[in-house]
Structure formats: structure tokens, C-alpha cells
Structure 1
């Protein structure tokens, strides 16, 4: 049976952060999960975590009204301070484990070992490399006022690129960002980490 022939009640709907949409679809293809569908909340909520829980509540209500019975939240806590868990509990759905995507890409166990040492590090992912100008340079006005770099990034020590794929162009963006921000540089190839593990349970 193709996904088009399945009813919504027979599918699994992942409601995810727009920052991981490409990665969810890549994992879906890798796992051959034809029954999995994806919808996303705006990636910009990464900077407005207060918007995530109410938007997720509304998205789940909408999905249920459309007949979806199997829903998975493609977010970790992501700065909601537990409010997303309240929404998940209300609707009886699960979410990605961990505090944020930087943790689940590395794997919770691996992140726990490096979290303290990474406190002064600026994480980048494949998405953030693709959107570096749109998410950092222009919103912070650094294209117009590069002198503000020290104000925004002066307390960081290095850029850590958490790479989901081996893409030289994306890695170059991360390296260039480190130079621009006056920071050290480290690359960690993570692949999809716990994202693949957790999506793999949605059979």
C-alpha cells in the first residue's frame, strides 16, 4: 500500500521544527518509512521558544481534526522550559528526547560528556550553515555593523560544526564563520544521531 492510499489514521505525522525538516526527510528515506508524513513549525521559533508550545498545541489539534491518530513531536525541549512537555502530555504524544537538537544530533550520552566543556562554544548545524546569513548576519545587523561581532560573540571561544552530512561547501561556511567571529573551530561529524533512532521507532 502506498502512502497515498493510506488514510490519515494509518499514517504517522511528525510535527517538527523547520530547522530539521531536511534531516527528517533524509531519515525517512533512509528508513524507507513511506507511512511517515512531515509538517513543520517555523524555523524562526528557534529564537522564540515561547512560541513553540502554543503553536504545537494548535498544530496537534489541527492534525487530530484531520484524522491523524499517530503524531510525533519533532522537537526536543528547545528552550520551552517544560511547556512543550505539558502540551505533549495533554495530547498523549511523544517528542524527541533531550534539551535541544544540538544534543540529539550528537546523541544524548555523547552530549552529556561534552556539555560542560562546550558551554563557551557556538554550535552550527547543516541548516545553520545554509542559513548563516539569514539567521545571524542580517538579523543581528553584522553586515552593516561588523563592530557588533564582539558584543554578540565575545564570550564564545570556538565554533563547533555538528555536521549531519559530509558537504565541503557547508564546512567552508562554518570555517568562514569562525574566522569572521574571531573564534576557534572544531568539526564533529554527527550524522543524524538520535533523530534516526527516535524516528526509527515510528513503525
Structure 2
């Protein structure tokens, strides 16, 4: 399942804003839950740290680099693949030193919302709002909530963001690929929510039957 997931992400990237990106799924060592890491640059000697890759559809020098990482495992019933953590960073350099923003998800996050966005830059408003002890807190330390556990941004949303904001070029037909992939993601998330909330589903069905 993890391998298929990696291939699906790879196909989406190469059909929209990338060329020749290769994603792999490798099992993380010393983890009893059989967690797999999905990303670029993974190998037998690099099992846990995906590397960045250029966002480009031609041979021109890339303007944007992406670092994409997922940690996945089977759910408690060992039937469905579950994303435990994910990270998508957008950078302007190959060394991944200059970050624009990154989209994060961590299922068991304690202090902040599980799905959040962190933006790098200067913010006079934040400087004015910081309280005593936070005077030097930079913008990138804020965790902006984005949709929660079930309906967090998908890779397709990030691709659309990059193309729509003229940060990356999209291949012909990229919007169709994004729309179809996002629909699959949302349907899968909805089905997962239904499995975990069967009483709500039953209540909804009864209400629909009464209105029929």
C-alpha cells in the first residue's frame, strides 16, 4: 500500500509541475508499527530523510524546490493506509535553506493543531502583537490551522497554489489532474470519517429517509 501511495504522488507531481521526480516508500527501522517513509532520495543508506527536488516541467533552471515527506502505516484494523505525519516545504534554493512556507500534519500533535501552515517572512503585525517573552518570535514560529485532521490540504491543493500564484509552471491539463486527485483525497477522507462515526452516518440516513 505504501508503494502504491508513493507511485500515486509521483504520478501527480510529474503530470502537473515536475518532471522525472522519483518517490520511494521505505520501511523505517526500529518501529514496531511498520511505519513507511515516502519521499524523494530514499535508499538503503537513507531510510528516513527525504531530499528536495526541483519543481519544473522543462530543462530551465528551477525557481522552486520542494521537500516532500510522508510517514504512513496501516490503521488499527490493518485495512487502510493512514498518514501519521506529512511535510511539504517550498524553497527557493536547492540547499533548502530559504523557505517560503511549509505545510505540516502530525496526527498526535499535542500543543498545536494537527494540520497547520508555517510561513517564513517578516511581519510588523506580529512584532506589535508579541507579548513579553515573545518579543523576538518570528513569523515562521506561528502555526496557522488548515482544515484539521480530516480535511487538511492535499498535495493537489499545494500544486494549485504554486501554479495559481505564478510560483511554478503547470503542464497542459494540470488542473484536471489536480481536480481528480483532490476529489479522490476528499472522498477517502470522508469515507474514513464515516467509518469512525457510524452513528452520525446512521442518523443522517434516517433523516434523509424521512424527507424522501
Higher relative contact order (CA 8 A, sep 6+): 1
**TM-score, with length taken from structure 2:** 0.28
**TM-score, with length taken from structure 1:** 0.29
Larger radius of gyration: 2
